[in-house]
A = this chain, B = another copy of it.
Amino acid sequence: MTQMPRASLADRAAALLEERIRAGEWQVGERLPGETTLAPELGVGRSTVREAIRQLAGKGLVQSRQGSGVYVTALETQDELTEVLARADVIAVIEARIAIECEAASLAAARRSPEALAVIHQALNHRHPEIDELEAYVDADMEFHRAVVLAADNPVLLEMFDAFVPRLRGSMIEMLRMTVDFDTELDHERHQRVTERIAESDPEGAARVSRDHLEVLRREVWQ
């Protein structure tokens, strides 16, 4: 019987690093120690550290930038859809959002479960137009839209929506920072209209209002 070959040093180094990343030793976006630091720390040569890092890069956990360092990009391995999303431009993502959310709003209106409606209302109340911090505003916005998709009671649509969020968050914040005359009152009003249509069991109306809302977003970005 042949002995099971123990895993290579690079494999073990990769596993060790992955464990430390998942444990939260470095947050997403943070930089890992340099190769020359990690090598003696892990008790291996520099090229072995490099191969370990490449392995994690293949899994989508880290990303290296020449001259700068190796950065944590995610805590879980990313799938193909998020990979496509990372490359796609914002317009394409918004168009896909229109597809998902209009249908979701329509289905939500058709199904209209009282519990799901309560979640939507709750998310709507979190969306104060007065929120001054951009990040909090965008997060509250995403929470509302997710509640709508959740109300559609379709796991496929939800999975797709969740793939969008991390990609869009940054762009939305940046966009709002650029837009000087963004009317939060008007924005909030549009969300209220979506909620009303769903509450009234008006699928077509819900879809239409959702579309109008997101088309505004697309135009904002396009300029």
Residues of chain A at the chain B interface (Cβ within 8 Å): 5, 8, 10, 14, 47, 50-52, 54-59, 64-66, 77, 79-81, 84-85, 87-88, 92-93, 95-96, 98-100, 102-104, 107, 152, 154-157, 159-160, 163
Contacts and interface: CB of A to CB of B under 8 A. Distances in A.
Contacts of A159: 80-81, 84
Contacts of A79: 77, 79-81
A155 B157 CA distance: 17
A153 B47 CA distance: 42
A98 B77 CA distance: 28
What's the dominant secondary structure at chain A's contact region?
A: helix
Give the oligomeric copy count. 2
Contacts of A5: 65-66
A64 B10 CA distance: 12
A75 to B, nearest CB: 13
6 nearest interchain CB pairs?
A58-B58, A99-B103, A55-B58, A79-B80, A54-B54, A96-B156
Given A58-B55, A154-B92, A159-B84, A66 B8 contact: yes
